[in-house]
Amino acid sequence: MTGKEWKDIKVIYCDHVDCEVSLQGQVVYPAEWMPEQPPRIIAERCSHGLECNLYQKAVCHWSGTNPGVDPFSE
């Protein structure tokens, strides 16, 4: 049986929200009958992305409002 879950990939301090936030990846695990397959990351998000999306100004790539800024790559 396969399974998937969100796991932290990287934790940073973000000035926009003045706290630690994490880059999370949605990890899909292979079926039991495919043990040689490694887990795969099929999506990524910021743990505060939804909240930042509600700001009235452009913030960053992970909030969906400013694709040119990625605090996790700095």
Q: Does 16 help bind ligand SF4 (rule: CB under 6 A)?
A: yes
Q: C-beta of 68: minimal distance to ligand SF4 in Å?
A: 12
Q: Does 60 help bind ligand SF4 (rule: CB under 6 A)?
A: yes
Which among 67, 72, 3 has a CA at the least distance from the CA of 39? 3
Which of 17, 28, 39, 44 binds ligand SF4 (CB under 6 A)? It is 17
Which among 23, 27, 3, 4 has a CA at the least distance from the CA of 13? 23
Helix (H, G, I), strand (E, B) or coil at 72: helix
Which of 4, 5, 62, 74 binds ligand SF4 (CB under 6 A)? It is 62
**Contacts with ligand SF4, residue ranges (CB under 6 A):** 14, 16-17, 21, 46, 48-49, 52, 59-60, 62-63, 71
